[in-house]
Structure 1
C-alpha cells in the first residue's frame, strides 16, 4: 500500500516545494534582510542541485535512445537489423591486446594472425546530433605484424529465413578512420556443404557507406540455407583508428531483370 502511494506523496511534496519557492520569489522585495539572506543561501544550494540535474538530463536526453533500431531501409524490405553492439550497452565495454577469435558481445568476433596483438576494441557512446545508433565501435591498431584482420558479424536466423536468389542484402555503415585504408565486406552464406561468398569494397569517400550483395549472382541452394555472416576485412590497418558509428542490414527483393 505504501509503495503504491509513494509516487503520489512525492508529487505532493514537489508541488508544495514549488509553491513555497514561488511564494518566496513574490515576497523577496518586501522581506526583512535576515529572512532574505537565509532564502538566498537556501536558493543557491537548491540551484546547484537543479543545475546538476539539468546538465545530466539534457546530456542524456540529447543522445540517441538506447535500444533504438530505427533506420532508413529500401522499399520492399522484408528484414532489417542493427546488431546489439550498436543498439545498447554491452556487459564488457572493451578489450585490449585482443587475441584472435575474441568476442565483443554475442555477435562480433575479431580475427587476425598477429604474433603479438597490439589491437583494442571498445564500445563507445555516440554523442553527435546526426547519429541514429546509440553506440559505436572503436578499433585501435598499433603495430601490426599479421597478414589479415577482420571483424565477423554473425547474422541472426531471421536474416536467412526465406532467403532466395531474388534477394539483395544491403549493408549500411558510418565509418571514420584516422588515415585512409581499404575495407572490404564479404557476405558468407552456408547452404549444405557449400558456402557462397560475395565481396564488395566499402566506398569510404562517402559519409554513409552502402553496399549491396546480390544473391542472383550466387549458386545459392535456397532449400539448404543454414547460416550467414559478414566479414569486415581491413587492409593495411597498422597505426590507425577505425570508428564504426553505425552498422545496419536490410534484405529486399531485387529488381526484375
Structure 2
C-alpha cells in the first residue's frame, strides 16, 4: 500500500514539474531577466541529466532483448530453438584455462584433450544492429597441444519428439574469426543401442552460415529415438579467436515431390 501511494505521489509530482517547465517556456519571452537567468541555470542542469538518461536508455533498449527466440525459420518449421547460452546471462560469464568437459550453462560442454589448457571462454553481450541473439560466446585459443577441440550442444527433448526420417534439421550461426579455420557440425542421434551421425562443414566464407542435416539418408530407427546432440568441431584452432554471435536450430519435414 505504501509503495502504491508513493507511486501516485511521484506521478503527480512529475506532472506538476512538466506543467511548470511548460509554463516557463511559454513565458520565457516576457520573464524578467534575473528570474530568467535562474531558470536557464536550472534548465541546463536538468537537461544534462535528461540527456544522460536518454543516451543510456537508447543504448540499452537497442540491444537484443534478453530471452529472445526471434530468428529466421523456414516455412513448415515444427520445432525451433536457441540455446540458453545465446539467450540468457550465465551465472559464470567467463573462464580461463578451461578444463575438459567444462559446462557452460546446462546445454553446452567444452571438450578437448590438451595437457595444458590455454583456452579462454567468455559470454558477451551482443550490441550490433545485425544481432538477434542477446548474447554470444567468445573463445580465445592460445597454444594448443591437443588433437581435438569441440563444443557439444545437447538438444532438448522437443527436438527428437516425433522425429522422422523425412525431417531436415537446420543449424544457423553467426561466426567471427580472427583468422581462417575450419568448423564442422556433427549431428548425433541416439536410437536404441546405435547412434546415427551426420557431418557437415560450416560454410564460413558465405554470407549465410547454415547447414542442414537430411535424415532421409540416415538409418534412423524412428521408434527408438532417445536423444540428440550437436558437436561443433574446430580444426586448427591455435592462436585464434572465435566468436559465435548466434547459434540456432530448427526442424521441418522435407518437401514431398
TM-score range for the pair, normalised by the shorter chain length: over 0.9
Deviation at 1:77, TM superposition (A): 0.9
Is it true that 1:145 corresponds to 2:145 in the alignment? yes
Give the aligned partner of residue 208 of structure 1. Answer: 208
Q: TM-score, normalised by structure 1?
A: 0.96
Q: State how 1:18-167 maps to structure 2 within 5 Å.
A: 18-167=18-167
Segment drifting more, 127-136 vs 38-47: 38-47
Deviation at 1:233, TM superposition (A): 0.2
Give the aligned partner of residue 196 of structure 1. Answer: 196
Cα RMSD of the aligned pairs, angstroms, is 1.3
Deviation at 1:112, TM superposition (A): 0.5
Aligned residues: 257
CA displacement, residues 60-98 of structure 1 (integer Å, 9 cap, x when unaligned): 111111111011111211100011111121221111111
**Cα distance in structure 2, aligned partners of 1:42 and 1:9:** 23
Counterpart secondary structure, 2:29:
helix
Counterpart secondary structure, 1:138:
strand
CA contact (8 A) 1:177 1:243 kept: yes
Give the aligned partner of residue 255 of structure 1. Answer: 255
**Cα distance in structure 1, aligned partners of 2:82 and 2:14:** 41
**Cα distance in structure 1, aligned partners of 2:5 and 2:216:** 62
Counterpart secondary structure, 2:162:
coil
The runs of 5 or more residues in structure 1 that have no matched partner are none
**Cα distance in structure 2, aligned partners of 1:6 and 1:163:** 55
**Cα distance in structure 2, aligned partners of 1:6 and 1:254:** 58
Is it true that 1:229 corresponds to 2:229 in the alignment? yes
Q: TM-score, normalised by structure 2?
A: 0.96
The runs of 5 or more residues in structure 2 that have no matched partner are none
**Cα distance in structure 1, aligned partners of 2:89 and 2:9:** 34
Deviation at 1:128, TM superposition (A): 1.1
Deviation at 1:229, TM superposition (A): 0.6
Counterpart secondary structure, 1:137:
strand
CA contact (8 A) 1:174 1:207 kept: no
CA contact (8 A) 1:175 1:208 kept: no
